[in-house]
Chains A and B, each alone.
Chain A
């Protein structure tokens, strides 16, 4: 199965700033996704990262707040912009390998906004 390297693993940011999270996969994958897990909650899909085109956002998530890039089949970034304390969450990258064997998750980025 695919191995994901997600960076940073955690960060503490000032409100009003931005954080960019990187997701690097060791093999080409079919799909890449970004999820948010708010404290004590389940995972919510933010968007599907599309290679070479704009990401597909779920209801309640917008590109201005969560810009996503996917320049190739193994790499994506998620930026959380104009941070507020409500953005404090774990953000996870997920991929579907070309084998279609299931979803693999990165270890997550724990963001705290102060």
Chain B
């Protein structure tokens, strides 16, 4: 069964500082990986996704993520955090192979706080 681990429950960074949110996954086949952001009281917005190809993926709002198969990781990064980035971030793994159920499994999330 697929699973996702986000080791950091809560991270606080200063505005302008760099950010890295960790994500480790467990999946038996080629993973389809996603990062979503959820602002308070809002739904989920897709930041970026990895299906195949270049292991460094660019997303919206200046975010990027790197897929490292050897480490089973898909960490999210941003070089300079803005106060508006304060939100909860979810890493997820799904199966788009056509043989799977297309189910999406989420990590428990990392809450990001930004100090002005």
A positions within 8 Å CB-CB of B: 6, 30-31, 33, 41-45, 48, 92, 94, 96, 100, 102-108, 110
Contacts and interface: CB of A to CB of B under 8 A. Distances in A.
22 contacts: A33-B102, A33-B103, A42-B90, A42-B106, A42-B107, A42-B109, A43-B44, A43-B90, A43-B106, A45-B103, A45-B105, A48-B103, A92-B43, A96-B96, A96-B102, A103-B92, A103-B104, A104-B46, A107-B42, A108-B42, A108-B44, A110-B41
Nearest to B4: A42
B34 A102 contact: yes
Interface size class of B (residues with CB under 8 A): 20 to 34
Contacts, number: 49
Contacts of B90: 42-43
Contacts of A41: 108
Given A48-B102, A103-B46, 9 more contacts: A33-B104, A41-B108, A42-B90, A48-B101, A48-B103, A92-B43, A96-B102, A105-B36, A108-B43
Contacts of A105: 36, 43-46
Given A33-B103, A42-B107, A96-B102, A102 B46 contact: yes
Main DSSP-derived SS at the A contact region: strand
A67 B45 CA distance: 27
Contacts of B42: 107-108
B92 to A, nearest CB: 8
A25 to B, nearest CB: 14
Contacts of A96: 96, 102
B101 A103 contact: no
B43 A103 contact: no
Given A48-B101, A100-B96, A103-B94, A92 B106 contact: no
A92 B42 CA distance: 10
Interface in B76-113: 90, 92, 94, 96, 101-109
